[in-house]
A = this chain, B = another copy of it.
Amino acid sequence: MAIDRTAPIGVFDSGVGGLTVVRALMERLPLERIIYFGDTARVPYGIKSVPTIEHFTAQITDHLLGEGVKMLIVACNTMAAVASHVVKERAGDIPVLDVIEAGAQAAVAQTRSGAIGVIGTPTTINSNAYARRMHELNDSLRVFSQACPLFVPLVEEGWLDHPVTRLTAEEYLKPVLAEDVDSLVLGCTHYPLLKALLQSVAGPQVRLVDSAVTTAQAAAQWLAREGMANPARSLPDYRFRVTDIPLRFQTIGERFLGRSLGQIDKVDW
């Protein structure tokens, strides 16, 4: 069965974080329709076990495939790190992109010194997925990883440029910066909101890799190469599905998306 070029791109995450990927897609591919799925009733995945994350990932994948998407984007580093095989097994001919693949490719392409830092949630870092993928691409690289469990709550608190966040970043980044990395992969979809602060703590000699932006670039390349870009000339529709609509969802979601969220549907499971 041929895939429909006018079908939407399915983007999913454990919560609101993946909206940074949606934002990058909207900017890079303004004619593409997007369905976003955020599992806000069970967020965060980063502190859960691998079998639990695999189970949740399978449920969301099936839901989006049922919507007839033309591409799946795993916009959650935790799911990409430990459960991307689950998505690919179920997706069949539908292409599957993920933030780890896109971030790893971009970091390997840009490094000059061969020393790369990666920051993320404990589950992402413990999975070693970024380092493994970068070593597959170039086995002479040196990769230094650091879990930063407080960054997600700091972003959700809105302390994007706060002394507490700066002090926390200085502590987390110290061992990575001591290795003279020239690239730092933001291995969590919340971290693009800390870009300015992280750049200032890391210093001008370190280039940040924003995996939301690199994922949107990878999606654009695939669509162009396969002739699968949406031929529509009208503005596309965006749909947002969540498993729960908590108190601060609208506020936090719009901070991530950089614009109004519009229609949000709650899925009851």
Binding site for B on A (CB under 8 A): 40-43, 47-49, 52, 122-123, 126, 149-150, 152-154, 156-157, 159, 163-164, 167-168, 171, 244-248
Q: Can you offer 24 A-B residue contacts whose CB atoms are under 8 A?
A: A40-B48, A41-B42, A47-B247, A47-B248, A49-B244, A49-B246, A49-B247, A52-B244, A122-B247, A122-B248, A123-B247, A149-B153, A149-B156, A149-B157, A150-B150, A150-B153, A150-B159, A152-B153, A153-B153, A163-B167, A164-B167, A164-B168, A164-B171, A167-B167
Complex contacts, A163 vs chain B, CB 8 Å? 167
B126-A247 in contact (CB<8A): yes
A245 nearest in chain B by CB position: B49
A123 nearest in chain B by CB position: B247
A151 nearest in chain B by CB position: B153
Complex contacts, A168 vs chain B, CB 8 Å? 164
Complex contacts, A245 vs chain B, CB 8 Å? 49
Residue in A48, A149, A171 whose Cβ sees the most chain B Cβ within 10 Å: A48
Known A150-B154, A154-B150, A157-B150: A48·B167 in contact at CB below 8 Å: no
A126 nearest in chain B by CB position: B247
| A46 to B9 alpha-carbon distance, docked (Å) | 31
A243 nearest in chain B by CB position: B52
Contact pick for A42, options B42, B49, B246, B248, CB 8 Å: B42
| A143 to B244 alpha-carbon distance, docked (Å) | 31
* Min CB gap A146→B, angstroms: 13
Complex contacts, A247 vs chain B, CB 8 Å? 47, 49, 122-123, 126
